Amino acid sequence: MAEAVSLKSRWAAGEETFGAWCMMPGALGVEAVSSLGFDWILVDMQHGCMDYGQALDMIRAADIRGLPAIVRVPWNEPGIIGRVLDAGALGVVAPMIQTADDARSLVDSCRYPPVGRRSFGPVRVGTRDGAGYAFTANDRVAVIPMIETRSALDQVDEIVGLPGVDAALVGPFDLSVALGLPPGDNDGKPVFDDAIKTIVAACQRHGKAVAVLSNAIVAPLRVAQGFQMVSVTTDIAALSSASLASLTAVKEKMRTKNAG
């Protein structure tokens, strides 16, 4: 399987990629979205509701569809990162990165020696990919630190300039809070706009992709700003909006019928 290589190659070619952000546990949701044309799915183990076993099933579901599964780990910790990679994740997003040293630790946790210090034991992913995984994993796994703190913003050039970092993901909610703004997409607020420009410019200087948690309304703006890895929905948001639309349509038809 070469999904992550393809994804990273598309970033290197300047292409935009669009993904679904999965926060609900279980393989069925991944199966439902993975045939719709998304370029990747992200399994959110930081704020999502899944445990390790459920995340493993979600990665397997993405594998069946040939879709790269990226995992946001709950913390930048080598043991956690190693387990999701052994499960078959083709990318790791680490939250609350503060410094270049934090990002260097993330790279080390994702790469086998001599490049990094990932422990070798690809039990599930080895079953999927065979013995060759050991020789290709360092090139295949996408390493993605989050830029969402004041400290990370101040050190963004050092973070994204590290060898082994493939992209940086902007967390607009935590970034907004760090900047003294309410959580959310605060476009139009100069301090937020300047932070976005700073992050995008740093990634472009170092030839790294820039990623963001987004939605269908904001995503076109993010693409215009230079983002190449853009989530367009979460599974919870998609379920809620579709359910509300269906309920509203039925109630409106009933009102029209009763009025007649």
Percent of the chain clearing pLDDT 90 (strictly above): 94
Distance CA 68, CA 61 (A): 10
Q: Annotated catalytic sites, by residue?
A: 47
pLDDT of residue 259: 84
Domains by residue range for the chain, with CATH? 3-235 (3.20.20.60)
Q: Give per-residue pLDDT as tens, 222-249.
A: 999 999 999 999 999 999 999 999 999 9
Q: What is the pLDDT of residues 83-96, one digit of tens each?
A: 999 999 999 999 99
pLDDT value at residue 6: 83
Q: What is the pLDDT of residue 88?
A: 98
Q: To which H or E segment does residue 212 belong?
A: strand 209-212
Lowest-pLDDT range of 3-7, 101-105, 237-241, 248-252: 3-7
Backbone angles phi, psi at 72, to 5 degrees: -90, 115
Q: Is 260 exposed, middle or buried (0-12, 13-18, 19+ CB in 10 A)?
A: exposed
AA identity, residue 114: P
- How many helical (H) and strand (E) elements, i.e. helices and strands, does the chain have? 13, 8
What is the share, in percent, of the chain residues with pLDDT greater than 70? Answer: 98
Q: What is the pTM of this model?
A: 0.95
CA-based R_g, the chain, Å: 19
Q: Please calculate the CA angle 102-57-35 and round it to the nearest 5 degrees.
A: 100
